[in-house]
Amino acid sequence: MTEKADLQSVLDRAAEGGRITPEEALALYRDAPLHALGAAADAARRRKFAGTEHIATYIIERNINYTNVCVTACKFCAFYAAPKDKAKGWTRDLDDILRRCAETVELGGTQIMFQGGHHPEYGVEYYEKHFRAIKKAFPQLVIHSLGASEVEHMARVSGVSVEEAIVRLREAGLDSFAGAGAELLPERPRKAIAPLKESGERWLEIMEIAHRLGVESTTTMLMGTGETNAERIEHLRMIRDVQDRTGGFRAFIPYTYQPENNRLRGRTQATVFEYLRMIAIARLFLDNVMHIQGSWLTTGKDVGQLTLHYGADDLGSVMLEENVVSSAGARHRSNRLELIDLIRKAGRVPAQRSTTYEHLVVHDDPANDPVDDRVMSHISSTALDGGTAHPELRILAAD
Ligand code: SF4
């Protein structure tokens, strides 16, 4: 299946919305000419978004990291502190979290991603208390947070089923799961980088339960920790199979491993070409997932811009605060005006979106572009110069 004509016929079928097999996806991922792959993925995107194919989206959100204390010790993670490491571990209190939510609202953010370690004492009750308080104070904020790994952990701490945990989170205000923790779903690469995490099958099983209980999610993939091409495609296959049953994955977001301050330092990293090929193959193979997001945060703004020509329809967020991948070396920062400019220079009309991908503001006239230059990416971060782990907040002070 590596003959040029065969590859082109598979590309043509996928561009037309036809389903391709994992074997065909692997052949395309390995051997299809880069530009032909990108052209097919872009055609598939335009077909899927017929009528709004001229638009590319972004969202304004804030990651709120409530603790870095974690019992799971993933080898690629530069964020966590072991529970016994009292000097490095920290937690944020509810007042601090609510102040961060207030800043998000003040700067036009619509979503928060509550993200943290697997704290040995945080069960379902901890999240119920915090989500209720956030929704009471800021009902307009969407809580797009957590994922299967956190649910598995908190259910164990509280001694309840994952079904009960999900229902209680939903009733406390959780709107959707963010889908972090997917890492790599196949067994070999997952065990190599996150041996204490639940299996990939279990991660998907919990997501499937959530989808059936009405909690949709996004899903992710961590590239560049030594996995093979076949394992990358297997990751996509596992997601597509669940999506065929539930339809609950709103988006797929591949991002790249960052090599600093973690125990995998020196492992292979995904190249720009590998990343662009993954965006394209995801658009072609995941025919049942609507949105494909390019991660400018981990690959750089220029690569993020290029993903819009390889099948991506979304550039993710102006993330007002981010500490997790920044701790591992992601130094790319941006702001709202720059993201608008990047999208425009890729030949698309930028639009600010909601969590569920409705267009909130379509920037079709540069004369009406927003002017608030405080809407920038992770100015307040524990991981960057000027960042702070503890309660002093920097975003509004930067005005
Ligand atoms: S990736 Fe998440 S679960 Fe793994 S060590 Fe880091 S904080 Fe803990």
Q: Whose CA is nearest to atom 6 of ligand 1?
A: 77
pLDDT score recorded for residue 59: 96
Residue in this structure with the two tokens 């994992």, named with its chain if needed? 22
Let me know how long the chain is.
399
**Chain-centre distance of CA 300, in angstroms?**
15
- In angstroms, what is the span from residue 186 Cα to ligand 1's centroid? 18
Model pLDDT, residue 300: 87
Ligand 1 atom closest to Cα of 149? 3
Predicted local confidence at residue 123, as pLDDT: 98
Count the Cβ atoms, other than its own, within 10 Å of residue 73.
Answer: 16
Q: What are the binding residues for [4Fe-4S] cluster?
A: 70, 74, 77
Q: Which of 63, 69, 79, 184 to mutate to test the pocket of ligand 1 (most atoms within 8 A of CB)?
A: 79
Asked if 335 and 372 count as a contact pair (C-beta separation under 8 A), the reply is no
* Residue 83 near residue 373 (C-beta atoms within 8 A): no
Strands 55-65 and 349-353 come out as parallel
**Cβ(78) – ligand 1 distance below 6 Å:** no
**Cross-strand partners of 314:** 57, 293
pLDDT of residue 3: 73
Q: Which atom of ligand 1 is nearest the CA belonging to 76?
A: 1
* Mean per-residue pLDDT, 43-53: 98
> Averaged over 368-388, what is the pLDDT?
70
Beta strands 217-223 and 249-256 are: parallel
Binned at pLDDT 50, 70 and 90, residue 399 comes out as very low
State pLDDT tens for residues 300-355: 889 999 999 999 999 998 888 777 767 766 667 778 899 999 999 999 999 999 99
**CATH, domain 52-398, list 3.20.20.70, 1.20.1600.10, 3.30.360.10, 3.30.1490.20:** 3.20.20.70
Structure confidence at residue 265 (pLDDT): 72
Binding positions are 70, 74, 77
Write out the two tokens for 398.
């930067």
Closest C-alpha residue for ligand 1 atom 4: 74
Whether 182 is in the pocket of ligand 1, judged by its Cβ within 6 Å, is: no
Distance 149 CA to ligand 1 centre (A): 9
At a CB cut-off of 8 Å and minimum separation 6, what does 156 contact? none
pLDDT classification of 82: cutoffs 50, 70, 90: very high
Kindly give the distance from the C-alpha atom of residue 188 to the centroid of ligand 1, in angstroms, as a whole number.
Answer: 18
Q: Cite the DSSP H helix spans in 20-147.
A: 22-31, 34-48, 94-106, 124-137
Which comes out higher in pLDDT, residue 4 or 213? 213
Pocket lining: 354 vs ligand 1, CB cutoff 6 Å? no
Q: Is the CB of 77 under 6 A from ligand 1?
A: yes
Indicate the average pLDDT of the chain.
91
Average pLDDT over residues 280-285: 98
Give the Å distance between the CA of 23 and the centre of ligand 1. 32
What is the H or E stretch that residue 216 is in? none
Residue minimizing CA distance to atom 2 of ligand 1:
117
pLDDT digits (tens, 9 = 90+) for 108-149: 999 999 999 999 999 999 999 999 999 999 999 999 999 999
**CA torsion sign, 192 to 194 to 196 to 198?**
negative
Mean pLDDT of 188-217: 97
What mean pLDDT comes out for the span 162-167?
98
Q: Is the pLDDT of residue 215 over 90?
A: yes
With bands split at pLDDT 50, 70 and 90, how would you rate the model's confidence at 385? low
Locate the domains of the chain by residue range.
Answer: 52-398
Cβ(186)–Cβ(230) under 8 Å?
Answer: no
Select the more confidently predicted residue: 100 or 247: 247
Token duo for residue 379: 């100015």
Kindly state if the Cβ of 29 falls inside 6 Å of ligand 1.
no
Q: Verify whether ligand 1 is closer than 6 Å to residue 117 (CB atom).
A: yes
- Whether 398 shows a pLDDT value over 50: the answer reads no
Q: Tell me, what's the pLDDT at 196?
A: 96
- Return the pLDDT at 391: 45
User: What's the confidence (pLDDT) of residue 318?
Assistant: 86
pLDDT(244) > 70: yes
CA 69 to ligand 1 center in whole angstroms = 9
Q: Residue 221: in which H helix or E strand, if any? A: strand 217-223
Per-residue pLDDT for 160 more than 50?
Answer: yes
Q: Determine the Cα–Cα distance for residues 293 and 314; give it in Å rounded to an integer.
A: 5
